[in-house]
Structure 1
């Protein structure tokens, strides 16, 4: 028997063998699928056909032939046969067994032409040929999965008929013998072709299944690796932010103490380095929050001139330092967007433009186009080559910065722009000419002019936005603050910073200590004005839950106090939970100015504000 299921070349012999067994098992299953019906049908047909032939020829030998075939069919029917529960390694045995059985039946059938043809009864001979040709045709369809069974069934009975016809020697019988031989060859050729196609299709199917399984395993491994990397980065980020947060607090306190002394310059340099590192961590956190889907935009009518004015304030000094012209044009237009997220988009685009511009300047303008507004940031910088235009939105990719010059940032700004563009539904378009400059266009939906409490921005004589002098009264800092943090260094640094700003700060390590401090302050009539709480406390205690219990729990008439959460968390699930709680949050390392401003706003208004670029 020739099995071609192992014909596919592979560098792994064991894989070939396994694949061959699976293909052969499918072939065996296909043949055995019609086993019972075929056997019973053949038995009934033999008896009917035998009776017809015997009634015409009255040859006793035909009765013995009929009996032999019926006995063979009974044996085939009752002998143990293949079932789907049989293991694949036994497939070769069952293939050989069914091939032997159909060969036995065919060999018994091969006798009947010698019992009929010599009678020179043309109608009976024609009937015999029709029966054998029909049997071969049926075999070609049902047995081509197993070539040995196909040959075993068709060859004996066909050769018996051909030789019986040729033995007669006359022209008619020789012609019938030649026709039978031609039909046999065509039938076998078609059966072999169908067998090959079926084998190849099965092998392709199993190979695809194997590839799909391996791909699934690789995807699962990649997902596990990604989850492990996320956990590692989250833990690493938190553990890095903790000491950096302490350094920032100690440094801010030191800078405040040495403000009017010569040593203060070193403190200022230290804080610039700490703030730069904190900004890098915050930038990567922004990417993490955008990818995690924990940022929910709040679209509203936005006056572009009021948005452009702080951008002009932010970047004018930097442009002047590089001797560049920064023009932010007034437009009087309103758009529909999230003001904070749109501010971050434009801020990143302006930062990128100034970063890559050495001569000339940067222009920011807005133009109305139908029901849209085009906000464009144009520069006269180095430009972007066509082959690099597809990569500028990738994380950490920077043009002409192979040495990773830290003064040029991390290369994440445009990546954040792209993410915010998708989140807000504001398409970003880019056109650039190397050596001539680049301009980015943000397409925003137009909104009608709205009554707003925002102070309007007035254009200068050139049409650029000019700052509007206005007096801002900073809210007072809280008098007494309670800090809940499980790390000693953080408590010492925070207390030192707050006391350097004349704030009475008291620090505790756990919730029980905080509850006792709050109760004591209430009894003394000197309640705390604000609770600062770390998100991750010792022994897995959730700082958000602890802070909410302390601020809203029973206190024998004690009034609620504002809660400000401080965290170094980057876990998307935890960030989403903080955002849903609507508790204001600052991310470590906290800049002293941002901390004091948030504390003042909370203590003064007792209304949660958003202290960072985006919601947690």
Structure 2
């Protein structure tokens, strides 16, 4: 129906309306003709009343038993049905025109007046029911009222001539009203169908946008996974190489290699943050937050960078408290400050907090390049950057403000932006105020989370590390790199490629009395096998018997899979895994209470 031309859809509605009215009033018209015939026969005793009644009943019955329009009729056939109903009502109009020639006797004004009232009422009814089709409206009313007017004028006396003139004026006014209502009805239908068409197009655009967003998410997740796999292997080989070359001149190049790997991993982790927020796996822990304790580490984080660019950074203490998640709020402000310093060449950046009633405004102001009005709605899009056509990597990926917007929705902290091109930008975060607490929250915040993290090498003889580790990964390079890294730290590592080999290794270890202390499993195994399910089976969690700690390692970033991992409760590390994070997690799991298989 949406592909049907607009004029055919309008005509179809007109035809449907006319047929509905005639079908609904069929019985009423039959009863009315019988009552009118009986009344006129009693008043006049004219035998012509009977043929008049029979004629109308015959026409009504023919109309009832002949095929009638129904909603299944195609819109393209509407014109034929419109012509058909026009012919029928025109024939009825000529039949009604016979009434005044039969029921207007000379000198009987009461009967004449009664007939006029009946026919004028019939005219009004016809205008109401036939207005959707102008041809049917004129085809019915003109013969019917024309017959009355001519019959009245035929009497030639002043009373009948007056009545004829009155009926003529009434007919003209009713036809004018009918034409106006027809136009209004047609316009309303056109407007309705145009709105429906706009709604359909809008729904299609929304669906296309959603598909594009889903495809973008799938593409990023797939690209991220495919990039993380070899990068993870490079990071593992590099860490092992760096460990072996420590203290030797060649170790400098190994350190440079790891810095480059860590920088690339940081970029991939930034995209992972988007996926984690979209997946809903980030749950805010709202509490009272002391802003001064939050501003202090932010000032330490960005002061060196501001000094390097010869900019002034002012982070002003306020003594205010807000209700928020300290870590997520810190990430929001960190991204805003990072963005401000990127686009400021002269002047500086100011961070302040002010109390406004029940709310607190945290404002980040800069004297940078500003944002043009036409770009203000795009700055929160992923990968969109102002004045960076060359995609200078030192200015980031263009994801920081997108993360700010997602955190704003997650925390319920509206973000407002005002900017003047060439004069600077002002971001405002609106937070609910909180009552001061007895203890400071300064200890809850890392001192420099946004700065590049130096890798802390675990000691080879750390007693907290597991003694034996079973690795399940279908990538041979990763198996080789991981076993090399673990063995270089005095860990007995055994790597397998599939579930069957892992089950055999676990069974052999159990029979030898040398059980594994940790099972490390990749999320995506060969042939699409789900590593989480495999790991849960191998670790014994689903059997209810003795279990082995399970650590999931993955390059997956798709929101649905991230949500599934979160719901499983299994610890997870994302590729490429930094060695300090890997050994810290292994030590934590090894020190927790567990039963070995």
TM class, shorter-length: 0.7 to 0.9
Structure 1 partner of 2:478? 490
1:156 CA drift (Å): 2.0
1:584 aligns with 2:571: yes
Correspondence for 1:545 among 524, 530, 533: 533
What is the rounded CA distance, in whole Å, between the counterparts of 2:581 and 2:385 in structure 1? 30
How many angstroms apart in 1 are the aligned matches of 2:348 and 2:436? 31
Does the Cα contact within 8 Å between 1:146 and 1:195 map onto a contact in 2?
A: yes
Match of 1:299 in 2: 286
Give the equivalent residue in structure 1 for 2:553. 566
In the alignment, which residue of structure 2 is the partner of 1:146? Answer: 133
Could you list the per-position Cα deviations for residues 396-416 of structure 1 after superposition, in whole angstroms to 9, with x for gaps in the alignment?
333332322111101211221
Query: Within 5 Å, which residues of 2 pair with 1:279-290?
Result: 279-290=266-277
Once residues 108 and 206 of structure 1 are traced to their aligned partners in structure 2, the CA distance between those partners, rounded to angstroms, is: 38
Quote the residue 1:463 is aligned against.
none
CA deviation vs aligned residue, 1:359-397 (integer Å, no higher than 9, x gap): 566565667777665555555655556665554433333
Matching of residues 83-482 of structure 1 within 5 Å: 83-117=70-104, 119-302=106-289, 307=294, 310-311=297-298, 314-319=301-306, 321-322=308-309, 335-358=322-345, 375=362, 377=364, 381-382=368-369, 391-429=378-416, 440-444=427-431, 445-451=433-439, 476-482=464-470
What TM-score comes out, normalization by structure 1 length? 0.81
Structure 2, unaligned stretches of length 5 or more? 448-456
Higher mean Cα deviation, 103-112 or 85-94? 85-94
Partner Cα distance (2:177, 2:441) in 1: 86
CA distance in 2, matches of 1:161, 1:338: 86
Give yes or no for contact 2:291–2:321 (8 Å, CA) kept in 1: yes
In 2, Cα distance between the equivalents of 1:440 and 1:109? 78
Query: 3-state DSSP class of the match of 2:380?
Result: coil
Relative to structure 1, the CA distance from residue 146 to residue 346 in structure 2 (aligned partners, 3 Å threshold; closer, same or farther) is closer
1:71 to 1:294, Cα distance in 2 relative to 1, 3 A? same
Residue segments in structure 1 that go unaligned for 5+ positions in a row: 1-9, 460-471, 608-616
How far did 1:525 drift?
4.5
Q: Which residue of the partner structure matches residue 3 of structure 1?
A: none
Q: Secondary structure at the match of 1:298?
A: coil
Asked if 1:507 corresponds to 2:495, the answer is: yes
Q: What is the deviation of 1:543?
A: 2.0
Q: CA deviation at 1:160?
A: 1.9
- Give the match's secondary structure for 1:483: strand
Find the counterpart in structure 1 of residue 9 from structure 2. 19
1:20 Cα offset (Å): 4.8
Moved more, 81-90 or 148-157: 81-90
Q: Give the Å deviation of 1:310.
A: 4.9
Q: Deviations over 1:427-447 (max 9, x none)?
A: 445566766765655454435
State the distance in 1 between where 2:421 and 2:10 align: 59
| Alignment partners' CA distance in 1, 2:24 and 2:543 | 83
Deviation sequence 1:275-302 (CA, Å, 0-9, x none): 2222222111211221232211122345
Corresponding residue pairs, total: 579
Q: How far is the alpha carbon of 1:600 from its aligned partner?
A: 2.8
Rounded Cα–Cα distance in structure 1 between residues aligned with 2:200 and 2:553: 45
* Residues 92 and 364 of structure 1, relative CA distance in 2, 3 Å threshold: closer
> Could you say if the C-alpha distance between residues 429 and 15 of structure 1 is closer, same or farther in structure 2, counting changes exceeding 3 Å?
closer
Equivalents in 1 of 2:146, 2:483: separation in Å? 105
SS in 2 for 1:502: coil
Q: Which moved more, 1:79-88 or 1:480-489?
A: 79-88
1:71-103 CA distance string (max 9 Å, x none): 444444444444445444544444334333333
Q: Residue 576 of structure 2: SS of its match in structure 1?
A: coil
* Contact 2:26/2:60 (<8 A) preserved: no
Structure 2 CA distance for partners of 1:448 and 1:546, relative to 1, 3 Å: farther
Distance of aligned partners of 1:125 and 1:453 in 2 relative to their CA distance in 1, 3 Å threshold = closer
Alpha-carbon separation, structure 2, partners of 1:207 and 1:267: 67
Whole-Å separation in 2 of the counterparts to 1:579 and 1:227: 21
Secondary structure at 1:446 match in 2: coil
Deviation at 1:575, TM superposition (A): 0.9
Q: Is the 8 A contact 2:63 2:88 kept in 1?
A: yes
Shift of 1:485: 0.9
Within-5 A mapping of 1:24-43: 24-43=14-33
Provide Cα deviations, 1:34-91, integer angstroms capped at 9, x if missing partner.
Answer: 3422431343134223313423xxx444444444444444444444444445444544
* CA offset digits 1:97-142 (Å, max 9, x no partner): 4333333333233234334546233233223322222221221222
C-alpha distance 316-525 of structure 1, shift in aligned 2 (>3 A): farther
TM-score by length of 2: 0.84
Q: How far apart, in 2, do the equivalents of 1:237 and 1:316 lie?
A: 32
